[in-house]
Structure 1
Amino acid sequence: MLYQIGPITLDTMPFNADTMRRASGAAVAEKGVMGARPPLEFMGKGEDRITLSGRLLPTRIGGLTELETVRGLMEAGTRVPVMRGDGKMFGWHAIVRIEEDHANLDRFGVGFTLAYTIELLRDGAEPSLGGATGIFDMMLGLFEAL
């Protein structure tokens, strides 16, 4: 497994990823003072984005169904956990953007090669899975997206 986005596994086949980009930030406030450079006050964690990209061969290997499932999660606004293949948890994310580029279209309009990009934004109010209610709500949200 390369990455896990909620119920979707990105692996070498059929739905793969070949690049990952992560951009994180911090929120700071500038305090004005006279005669000196303004000191910065740390206000908390800032935006945290993950971008996964890859190429699919839908007519040979598949992967189009998984991409449509990710699109369904995005359209439903479902927050999903994101995990790297080595077990590193990135927290709960919203899928905010999906791009597809089809090349060499077949007679059904599907590309022989399909380049995709999925952009995820970390949710600041991560759901708690400590109780049964949190697990039930997360599972219900995943099934609604499917």
Structure 2
Amino acid sequence: MSSDRLLSIGMFIFTTDGLSYQELERRMSWNWAAAPRFGARDALQFTGPGEDKITLNGVLVPEVAGKYSDIARLREMADSGQVQDVTLGEGDVLGQFVIVAVDHREQNIIMGGRARRYDFAVDLLRYQP
């Protein structure tokens, strides 16, 4: 693996000298069913794994690193509805995920309506066939 790789979503690669993210947040949950009991706390039964969600937050500054088209590429991947392998830069596979949201905010607008800075977030949800 290349040392500048941070993470890949399918064929889209976040790198230190291209589009990069500053924060990776992962939230995993597990499901428990509750059965009420008279005079006592509910009885709990484990029913299996719940959601596994990853959120990547970052900043795109095309004049420094990354391209204007990077956010559009992520949206196109989400539009395709395809399941993507998510892999950390050192090769650890996190699993198969789908892109469920891509947010961005444009700042420092220059002539022509281009932004110098894009704050972005990408939400991924673990796929279970």
Question: TM-score, normalised to structure 2's length?
Answer: 0.89
Indicate the larger mover: 81-90 or 12-21. Answer: 81-90
- The DSSP-based 3-state class of the residue aligned with 2:27 is strand
Letter in 2 for 1:93: F
* Deviation for aligned residue 1:111: 1.0
- The DSSP-based 3-state class of the residue aligned with 2:40 is coil
Question: TM-score, normalised to structure 1's length?
Answer: 0.79
> Are 1:50 and 2:54 an aligned pair?
yes
> Are 1:92 and 2:96 an aligned pair?
yes
* Deviation for aligned residue 1:69: 1.1
Query: Which runs of no fewer than 5 residues in structure 1 stay unpaired?
Result: 126-146
Identity %: 28
Q: Distance in 1 between matches of 2:62 and 2:116?
A: 6
- The DSSP-based 3-state class of the residue aligned with 1:20 is strand
Q: Distance in 2 between matches of 1:81 and 1:23?
A: 17
Q: Distance in 2 between matches of 1:49 and 1:38?
A: 28
Please state which structure has a larger fraction of its residues in helix: 1
> Are 1:28 and 2:56 an aligned pair?
no
Letter in 2 for 1:53: N
- The DSSP-based 3-state class of the residue aligned with 1:47 is strand
Counterpart of 1:121 in structure 2 is 125
Q: Distance in 2 between matches of 1:89 and 1:64?
A: 28
Q: Distance in 2 between matches of 1:46 and 1:75?
A: 24
Please state which structure has a larger fraction of its residues in strand: 2
Query: Which runs of no fewer than 5 residues in structure 2 stay unpaired?
Result: none
Counterpart of 1:73 in structure 2 is 77
CA RMSD of aligned residues (A): 1.4
Where does structure 1 differ by over 3 angstroms across 4 or more consecutive aligned residues? none
Q: Distance in 2 between matches of 1:72 and 1:113?
A: 21
> Are 1:18 and 2:10 an aligned pair?
no
Letter in 1 for 2:33: A
Q: Distance in 2 between matches of 1:80 and 1:97?
A: 14
